[in-house]
Amino acid sequence: MITEKLARIRAEMPVTENAAYLNTGTSGPLSKQTIAILTEENTRELMNGRADMKSYVRLSTAKAGLRQAFADLTGATPAEIALTHHTTEGMNIVSHGLNFQPGDEIITTTLEHEGGLLPLYVLKQRRGVTVKTVDLMNVADDAEIVRRLEAAISPRTRLLVFSHVAWNTGQRLPLAEISAMARRHQVLTLVDAAQSVGAIPLDLPASGVDFYAMPGQKWLCGIEGTGALYIRRERLGMLSPTFIGYASLEDSSMFDYDGAFMLAAGARRFEVGTVDRPGIHAMLANMRWLADEIGWEWIFERIAATATMTFNALNSLSGVTVITPQAGQSGLITFNLDGYDPARVVTKLVRQNIIIRFLPYPYALRVSTGFYNTESDIDRLLGALEDVLSHSPDDLPEFIPPR
């Protein structure tokens, strides 16, 4: 049933009415308000110019508001939030900001996205660190996850890098338990939050995590080029800036020509230079809309409910193998139609305006269920999958990879 609230949300996010949009794990649906603000701000810059004092003050207020919005969502303080451009930037800031020595170890898992992994591979090449990868694929039990990670720790281990929600299986990892275990061994934790922020409730200070890298464009339904990095207050001094610029300083005049400079007191020191002003204004309004008008609690409950519904429905279809270990842990459900090529299934569904994606590893289909999805979106998906299953795998259209 579509409630009045849901109908209002769907009218505000037109793609949800034009398609069965089930791909928020890649990019969330945009709102009309976001586009209106981008247009308004770009028009203002076009007509009035871009560099007057008033727009500078407005921008700095909006950036502070956006740090506050990320802090409110995660239980952090604004001083623990740096604005970034995507998850991967946050993963790089921390990976390259810690002072690794040759022979130091970093532990990561087989559930990671390249956004978190590649910075570690560069550290391996550049600083001679050892990267150990723990196999967590098909490990559903939280205690076993913690046990395997702990077993990999040695006296040389400095950092544990993992996703809160795995992009490939949708599994939620036990953040607080892993962080507590790592802390017992004096190992820092860096978490890829691409599939968790905006999808599940967070209290980062209570979780014990040290660093948490978040995107704006996925479950927060913001534009590309937005994101934030949480840096636990006590860990700020451990990170050196790899990139630095006027935005990193307490005040942009706080440097001299003898090599002295004063970094901003909080995590904002990892912000570097000029940003997309219209994007910041639009993202701030978007975060306020989600928090104040829709409500995070409602959002998290709906994502869990639509994900559970989809998980159960897929599990009940014969010819479907669900890879996601448990229902409702995140908004992602990964599965396969036995004997059917995932890329070709996606190609067929896109032609019916049902937007899902396939993953490279495991080679499988992935559905994202958002707070704006309805039972009828899920029914459309299931109907289309049943239709695929009632035909030969050879009847599927060819997949032509984008170049």
Contacts with ligand PLP by CB under 6 A lie at 86-88, 113, 115-116, 163, 167, 192, 194-195, 215, 227
- Comparison of 62 and 229: residue with beta carbon closer to ligand PLP: 229
- Comparison of 213 and 396: residue with beta carbon closer to ligand PLP: 213
- Comparison of 163 and 374: residue with beta carbon closer to ligand PLP: 163
Cis peptide before 402 (omega within 30 of 0): no
Residue type, 242: T
- Comparison of 225 and 393: residue with beta carbon closer to ligand PLP: 225
- Comparison of 123 and 249: residue with beta carbon closer to ligand PLP: 123
Tell me, rounded to whole angstroms, the distance of Cα 230 from its chain centroid: 13
> Is 195 within 8 Å of 332 (Cβ atoms)?
yes
Please state the closest distance from residue 53 (CB atom) to ligand PLP, in A. 33
CA distance 105 to 92: 17
Please state the closest distance from residue 331 (CB atom) to ligand PLP, in A. 12
Three-state secondary structure call for residue 83: strand
Give all strands (DSSP E) within 7-91, no chain letters. 20-21, 81-84
* Long-range CB pairs of 118-121, under 8 A, 24+ apart, other chains included: 119/88, 119/91, 119/92, 119/95, 120/95, 120/161
Structure tokens at 191: 């978490």
* Long-range CB pairs of 15-21, under 8 A, 24+ apart, other chains included: 16/370, 16/372, 16/373, 16/377, 18/353, 19/353, 19/354, 19/355, 20/353, 20/354, 20/355, 20/373, 20/377, 20/378, 20/380, 20/381, 21/355, 21/370, 21/372, 21/373, 21/377
Please state the closest distance from residue 162 (CB atom) to ligand PLP, in A. 10
CA-angle at 225, arms to 220 and 226, nearest 5°: 40
- Comparison of 222 and 278: residue with beta carbon closer to ligand PLP: 222
CA distance 119 to 107: 13
> Is 139 within 8 Å of 171 (Cβ atoms)?
no
- Comparison of 243 and 298: residue with beta carbon closer to ligand PLP: 243
Please state the closest distance from residue 232 (CB atom) to ligand PLP, in A. 20
- Comparison of 195 and 374: residue with beta carbon closer to ligand PLP: 195
Q: Which string of DSSP letters, residue by residue, matches 328-366?
A: TSSSEEEEEETTS-HHHHHHHHHHTTEE-EEETTTTEEE
Three-state secondary structure call for residue 396: coil
- Comparison of 219 and 340: residue with beta carbon closer to ligand PLP: 219
Q: What is the DSSP letter of 292?
A: I
CA distance 71 to 267: 12
Give the side-chain half-sphere CA count within 13 A for 138: 2
- Comparison of 12 and 271: residue with beta carbon closer to ligand PLP: 271
Please state the closest distance from residue 85 (CB atom) to ligand PLP, in A. 8
Question: Taking the CB of residue 348, how many other CB atoms lie within 10 A of it?
Answer: 19
Tokens 């723990």 -> residue: 134
